[in-house]
Structure 1
Amino acid sequence: MKRLRTLTQAAKLRLKTPLRPKLRQQTRWGSTYAMLARHFELREFINVNDEELVELMPSPAANRRLKALLNEMSDVESISKKLQSEGLNLLDARDLLDGLLEIKPSFTNYIAPTADIVHSPDFESGVVKVLGGHESDLSRAEKEALRPFRQMTSRSRSPEEDPTKLGFADRILKRRKVQAETS
């Protein structure tokens, strides 16, 4: 992708498409997904007879692996975008991360409720239980972690989403709501 941003290659590409290559940013995970997605969008416009680029282009086998990786990353990207949206509570976030763990168990060390990054596991699990309507299941440690926040409030429901086209993240949240209604 870097090579396609040089003056000569960018001019050649500009003649064929308004799309521009995207570079990976070290601090943004989403840029990796965007760069890979843009690779497949630009691939049809890249001249395979261009000697400067031909040796830098991935082989067909590598392209198949990259396409499979892009498909896997699309679920992670969906979760990432949903976690950044408005109106999400800790229960929704935990459901999203648990849904991601179902398809990517290798993320357990990073996003599981017991991961090292979780500052207060008792607080997190307590909030999830309260938001899920399972206050009676709180352990003594969870009650103690939630004690400073105890007050009587009413729950507000978020507006229903359009079910016609749900992303991976939306399907996880909808599954939890349906399970809660049936039990």
Structure 2
Amino acid sequence: MVKRYVEIREAIMTVSAVEELVPRGATHRRIQALLTKLEELGSVCVKLQAEKRTLGDVRLLFDACVAKYPAMAQHLLSGASIVHSPLFESAVAKLINDVPLAAREQKAVASFVVTPPPQQPVDESVDFDHLDPASGEEATALGSQQRDLPSAAPQHPSNQQPL
């Protein structure tokens, strides 16, 4: 709406019925400055919608907005009232950006830590001959299982016999 006003202001000034309602001088300059700020914040909104955006990226964008527009601090800082767990958010942002965590942050994400399964030793003397259908019992057993698969598969309704 503001952008549209700025675009058509000159044309509006030619209509005598509304000419006196159009903002003048300083008010118009403030509206133009507001439009510039809205366009900057609009670009942040577009960046937030990127598919590969991480929580760390979002935190950096919000911090940049707060640096430029301090009035937004109560809404965008990591301690804002809308943030459910500031420690958790801080910990995740630091993990994504490979920054060391404080003890309280480690505790906040401790329930999400996944321990990798133990590595099983690899037997270097594996013999793959048993996979050759012409050489052994396992291949024969596998072959018979493969032959039985079509009979075990569910029948398509068009292939069933009428009752």
Question: Could you state the TM-score of these two structures normalised by the residue count of structure 2?
Answer: 0.65
Shift of 1:43: 1.8
Aligned length: 116
Partner of 2:112: 149
Give the superposition deviation at 1:152: 7.2
Which is bigger in relative contact order (C-alpha 8 A, separation at least 6)?
1
- Determine the structure 1 residue equivalent to 2:39: 74
Q: Distance in 1 between matches of 2:70 and 2:52?
A: 27
Looking at structure 2, the residues matched to 58 and 124 of structure 1 have their Cα atoms a distance apart, in angstroms, of 44
Alignment partner of 1:44 out of 10, 26, 30: 10
Aligned-partner Cα distance in 1 for 2:53–2:72: 21
- Give the aligned residue type for 2:114: Q
Identical aligned pairs, as a percentage? Answer: 35
1:87 is the counterpart of 2:52: yes
Opposite residue 133 of structure 1, the aligned amino acid is: D
Counterparts of 1:105-144 in structure 2 under 5 Å?
Answer: 105-134=70-99, 137-144=100-107
**Alpha-carbon distance, 1:148 to partner:** 2.7
Structure 1 segments (4+ residues) deviating >6 Å: none
State the alpha-carbon separation in 2 of the partners of residues 130 and 74 from structure 1: 31
CA displacement 1:36-66 (0-9 Å, x = unmatched): 11111122333x2423211221112211111
Deviation of 1:86 after TM superposition, in Å, equals 1.6
Bigger mean CA deviation after superposition, 89-98 or 101-110: 101-110
Question: Equivalents in 1 of 2:62, 2:115: separation in Å?
Answer: 28
TM-score, normalised to structure 1, is 0.58
1:86 is paired with a residue of what secondary structure?
A: coil
Q: Which has more radius of gyration? A: 2
Specify the alignment match of 2:27 in structure 1. Answer: 62
Aligned-residue Cα RMSD (Å) equals 1.8
Alignment gaps of 5+ in structure 1: 1-34, 154-183
